[in-house]
Amino acid sequence: MLFRLGELFCGPGGLAWGAINADIGNPDYKIVHQWANDYDESTCKTYRRNICPESPESVYCADIRKFDTTKLSAIDALAFGFPCNDFSVVGEQKGIDGVYGPLYSYGVNVLRQYRPKWFLAENVGGLRNANDGKAFAKILDELRGAGYKLYPNLYKFEEYGIPQARHRIIIVGIRNDIDLEFKIPSTAPYEGCDNTCKTAIEVPPIPKDAPNNELTVQSSTVVERLKYILPGQNAFTADLPEELMLHVKGAKISQIYKRLDPTKPAYTVTGSGGGGTHIYHWSEPRALTNRERARLQTFPDTYIFEGNKESVRKQIGMAVPCKGAKIIFEAILKTFARIPYEAMEANIEE
């Protein structure tokens, strides 16, 4: 059974990589790229280069609010990581009332138009609490109303062997007329695996001339400050001399000038932010390179990102970890192939 995948808000291709690389040992069950959409030109170039170099015209660069989804080719599956800006705990949390909050509805429209057999929708963990929980309930109601059984879960990717603490709500939906039930893949097979950030970044070593591996130029003040910050500490928990302290009013975000702990998975890779938010090496007084950040997101080193350095940083930070996505897509394929797999209870009540 071949599943032609359409994707909205496709980003640089973390979900897509997981989908087209999903392998359950039965070549009759696989996912292939059909079309994708994103509004950012550099992001679309990255996706075309790595996911569908032979059909670049199948990636439509357009604002979803102005994009005609009615003339796309038929699909059997849909993936959409709808923008999280209004649901993120770091943002203003406007939820459904924000500029980005309502964009999930375009995914619902495509489900109604094309009636794919299944879908995968992704967003930040903060989605559950946006608008006092009403936003999440509304989204679930509309997805259900489009004709799908829903299987939402908060995936903690570090529990699936990913070298990064990244928590995301992923909703798998199977069309109502299909007599199958999706199960959340178990974290048990990944217990005890080495998913430390140090191993992810150093094994194997990243070649000096690897793409997207330019060093960030650090000011002398930042270099000096980092010398006082121990692995796992940030600018507020470290014992800094007065002249290197940050005098920030209000919230003290724990990731400001936070150094990685080499014995643990990385903290969450983000796509934007000012000084102090770039993720900092545990022993060298510097921010990580984009290639090192891509390793924490489990992109292969052969995955080349298009655009300037800040654009690449944003693309990597907004993506779903490739290998985490692959695990979930393989569970979907096994569900359709009726192959049993180790599962666990969902942590979100549907």
35 by DSSP, 3-state: which?
strand
Choose the catalytic residue: 10, 44, 52, 84. 84
Q: What is the DSSP string of 236-251?
A: TTS---GGG-----S-
Omega before 285 within 30 of 0, i.e. cis: no
The answer to whether 84 is a known catalytic residue is yes
Picking from 24, 26, 28, the residue whose alpha carbon sits closest to that of residue 2 is 28
| Interatomic CA distance for residues 95 and 133, integer angstroms | 10
* 340 Cβ contact partners less than 8 Å away, ≥ 6 residues apart: 334
- CA dihedral over 233, 205, 323, 338, signed as positive or negative: negative
- From residue 86, alpha-carbon distances to 12, 63, 66, 127, 239 in Å are 20, 17, 20, 9, 35
Which residues are catalytically annotated?
Answer: 84
